[in-house]
Amino acid sequence: MKQQLVLSVEGYTKAFSLHEQGTVIPSAKDVDLQVYSASLTALVGPTGAGKSSILKGIYRTYLATSGQLFYTMQSGQQVDLVQADEHLILTLRRNEIGFVTQFLHFLPRQSTELVVAQPLIQRGRPVEEALAVARDMLAAMNLPRRLWSISPATFSGGEKQRVNLARGLVARPRLLLLDEPTASLDPITCERVIRQIEELKKEGIAMLAIFHQPELVKRIADRVVELEPPLNGQTQLEDIA
């Protein structure tokens, strides 16, 4: 399958100004990277290097301090995710860009299968059909059947991670962001996730994923972007004013 450029990150920089403390926390600094369809770009580097901050910038949970995030939409039109208006960002989140984070967001008393089916329902799939896809994915993620009809509120970290993955994977976005997708999984489930990632590649999906395990990166990454260690210390706000 021909790989096409889906996302080009150019000079992405993020720093957090903590005005009350009068300091600036540097995060990602001048990062360039590309993500192509039908492939996985791995983001590696030490703790605090800004890996999660880059994913959050692409998903627009964070606003970049500087730099550009050129995303090529399904329509072929290119948009800078730093500048795009809120409405477009919400549309892209619903239809094109998915994010599997370390945290599971869900409404109280919502069943696990409904949490997973949600991205499909939001796109207009009939509820029963969406639930059937969700159940298949929960089975693929090795989540015990007895947990499907209850809320994930009381789930263990590994169980929540499986629900998160199932939700991200059913959506089949064009660009999938994965923040340590296998971090709290047992080896069998980890293998299943790897199989799913291979499947996503075959379907043409572009992925940008943070990993801490070098052997995993070697196995599934098509490109590797290594971030520099974070700068030492903090900058006083007046130093950069």
Nearer to ligand ATP, 43 or 143 (CB): 43
| Among 10, 13, 25, 172, interactor with ligand ATP by CB under 6 A | 25
Distance CA 222, CA 34 (A): 11
Nearer to ligand ATP, 17 or 110 (CB): 17
Q: How far is the CB of 180 from ligand ATP (least distance, A)?
A: 7
- Interhelix angle for 127-140 vs 112-122, to 10°? 120
| Among 41, 52, 142, 189, interactor with ligand ATP by CB under 6 A | 52
Q: What are phi and psi of 177, to 5 degrees?
A: -100, 130
Contact indicator for 177, 7 with CB cutoff of 8 Å: no
Instruction: Sort residue 35 into left (φ over 0), alpha (ψ -120 to 50) or beta.
Output: beta
Widest CA span of the chain, in angstroms?
A: 58
| Among 190, 222, 230, 231, interactor with ligand ATP by CB under 6 A | 230
| Among 24, 40, 41, 51, interactor with ligand ATP by CB under 6 A | 51
Rule CB under 6 A: say whether 237 interacts with ligand ATP.
Answer: no
Q: How far is the CB of 39 from ligand ATP (least distance, A)?
A: 21
| Among 34, 37, 39, 53, interactor with ligand ATP by CB under 6 A | 53
Rule CB under 6 A: say whether 224 interacts with ligand ATP.
Answer: no
Rule CB under 6 A: say whether 173 interacts with ligand ATP.
Answer: no
Counting Cβ atoms within 10 Å, is residue 218 exposed (0-12), middle (13-18) or buried (19+)? exposed
Distance CA 31, CA 17 (A): 19
Q: How far is the CB of 26 from ligand ATP (least distance, A)?
A: 7
| Among 48, 139, 150, 151, interactor with ligand ATP by CB under 6 A | 48
Q: Is 149 helix (H, G, I), strand (E, B) or coil?
A: coil
| Among 9, 24, 27, 92, interactor with ligand ATP by CB under 6 A | 27
Starting from the edge strand earliest in sequence, which strands make up the sheet with 23-26, in order?
A: 15-18, 23-26, 235-236
Size of the site for ligand ATP (CB under 6 A): 12
**Which residues bind to ligand ATP, rule: CB under 6 A?**
16, 25, 27, 45, 47-53, 230
